[in-house]
Structure 1
Amino acid sequence: MTEHTTVSNAVAASLCAPDGTLFCDPAREMPKRDVRKALHHFRELIKDKEDTAQVFKIYDALPSKHFRPRAQSLTLSERGEALRASEPFLPSILDDHDALRKLPKGSVAHAYVDFMESEGLTAAGLVEESEKSGRPRYGDLMEWYGFRQRDTHDLLHVLTGYGRDALGEQCVLLFTHGQSPAPGHLLLGYAGAANIKKTVKSKAPVFRAVREAHRIGKACPPIAEMSIRELLAMDLADVRKRFGIAEHKWYKKCHEVWRSEGIDPYDLMAKNMPAEGEAALAA
């Protein structure tokens, strides 16, 4: 990080919201980039796809220079203050399926609940996975902003239409990078795609699919910075059109090619491919 892209720890520690919540707790240690360490944790993740704590270690080893200035811009604004008041903790909103079902049919809320229930997922479950990394809690504005990125991960699957298959997870990670650049997204997304190409012998255009996801993410405003309550109430098709979430061509093409080759897109390499997407947004 440079003095042009972020504020110093001393200055950050003096910033706070009107209610007194610090932007950055003075006790918070700013992670330093360590590519070798990140690659080590990625290899460990490859060995054991269930070891999701490795995901958070990868993000710690590859901190984003964009995270703090983005967090400061939102959280210290009037819009950020309003969001924090109405949406202090997203999982409690996202896991209230009864309330979400009362919103109009065709809404993002209905699609989200259908997705989560069909996959046996909960927003609280993702929180539990992220807490396995043992990261300290600070209660500052940076933490609140980071939690929103984590907690909207499965919502991005719904908005983009990418599934929870191995390629779908890589596509969501790179869609996320397009919205909020972070080297951890790049490593997990592109290295994950490379692992698919290496392990699954196929003509499927895997890299075209992930590059397309990256482009779509860049065209869409940051979802984590929107009012999630308002977004859930909107018509899904209207959201995709309004925010430029284009229909993906190459992801679907990969699925078509794999099926023509007798390969199940949702079971490409169960023993080899890490399901890193499940916890990737807690950076």
Structure 2
Amino acid sequence: MDSLSVSITAANDTPLGAEGDLPLMLPGRPKMRYDFPKAWHHFKELVKDKENTAEVAKIFEALPWRGVYDAAKAFLSTERGQRIRASEPDLVSILDDHASLRRLPKGTVAHAYCDFMEREGLSAQGLVDELDKYRPADMYFNDQVDWYFRRLRDTHDLMHVLTGYGRDALGEQCVLAFTYSQQPALAHLFLGYAGAYEIARRATVKVPVFRAVREGQKSGKACPRLVEMSIRDLLAMPLEEARQKLGISQGQYYQQAHAMWRAAGIDPYDLMAPVQKAA
């Protein structure tokens, strides 16, 4: 089987790891339920302060991926899932070791990832530290499912790299939509389209905002689930080959929106900046 293909078998409660390994999933994990009033309350608070990460975390608590436990157990109940868990116990240490990643050939996903993270002043550990401030205490479990949860978090910036979506406002909404198709927490979809509405509402130039977000959602659906791939294998692949293999198309409408904004004198990374009028 191809190392980047996804194979999921029916879940069972027997882990395939070595004797004495972590249990597959400990009892007592909270049920994944929707709480729409809670989500709406925290969304209204987020509108008041769009940098308030705590409100984003609360929205994800209220609109989770309800099938995440089943997905994690299904993957971890395969030999392939256990092989990947054994070879990649901690993605943060792999992703933040830029010296090792830079030893891979130029043009690979690894180099594109390092370029992106260094340019943006980011690190995988930094994301961990930020999100851990808001992680509910009842979500800490010493089991294999927790490993799967950590990968959901740690592959976020790889999605930016593979899709080509930047950290501008529209790029973030497109990544949220892409992520929804990979990790269908309703919060991803809600925040992605709510953010798109806010961009379209405030924009002084009409651009294909919603089409760009929808394109990101479709691309995420076409791509096999990244969390269930060998990230080491993915990092070693040429970037364009990886995109082609994973069915990730460049965001045509995203690029079109950027071109239209720039033609109007608007910086896509600062949509609130005043339009530059021609002399």
The Cα shift of 1:184 comes to: 1.1
2:104 partner SS: coil
- The residue type equivalent to 2:181 in the other structure is G
State yes or no: 1:205 paired with 2:204.
no
Q: Distance in 2 between matches of 1:23 and 1:47?
A: 41
The Cα shift of 1:171 comes to: 0.4
- The residue type equivalent to 1:244 in the other structure is G
State yes or no: 1:263 paired with 2:262.
no
Aligned residues: 260
Q: What is the aligned partner in structure 1 of residue 150 from structure 2?
A: 147
The Cα shift of 1:15 comes to: 4.7
1:55 partner SS: helix
The Cα shift of 1:256 comes to: 1.1
Q: What is the aligned partner in structure 2 of residue 276 from structure 1?
A: none
TM-score (norm 1): 0.87
- The residue type equivalent to 2:17 in the other structure is P
Q: What is the aligned partner in structure 2 of residue 84 from structure 1?
A: 85
**Does the 8 Å CA contact 2:32/2:65 hold for their aligned counterparts?**
no
- Please say which of residues 69-78 and 229-238 is displaced more in the overlay: 69-78
Q: Distance in 1 between matches of 2:265 and 2:40?
A: 32
Structure 2 unaligned residues grouped into runs of 5+: 1-9, 274-279
State yes or no: 1:68 paired with 2:61.
no
Alpha carbons of structure 1 residues 41 and 17: separation in structure 2 relative to 1, 3 Å: farther
State yes or no: 1:191 paired with 2:181.
no
The Cα shift of 1:17 comes to: 4.6
Q: What do residues 63-113 of structure 1 show as CA deviations (whole Å, max 9, x unaligned)?
A: 223312211111121111111111111111000000000001100000000
State yes or no: 1:101 paired with 2:95.
no
Identity %: 55
Q: What do residues 146-182 of structure 1 show as CA deviations (whole Å, max 9, x unaligned)?
A: 1111101101110010000010011011111122322
- The residue type equivalent to 1:18 in the other structure is G
- Counterpart of 1:250 (choices 253, 256, 264) is 253
State yes or no: 1:21 paired with 2:22.
yes
Q: Distance in 1 between matches of 2:193 and 2:147?
A: 28
The Cα shift of 1:259 comes to: 1.4
- The residue type equivalent to 2:222 in the other structure is A
TM-score (norm 2): 0.88
CA RMSD of aligned residues (A): 1.8
Structure 1 unaligned residues grouped into runs of 5+: 1-5, 271-283
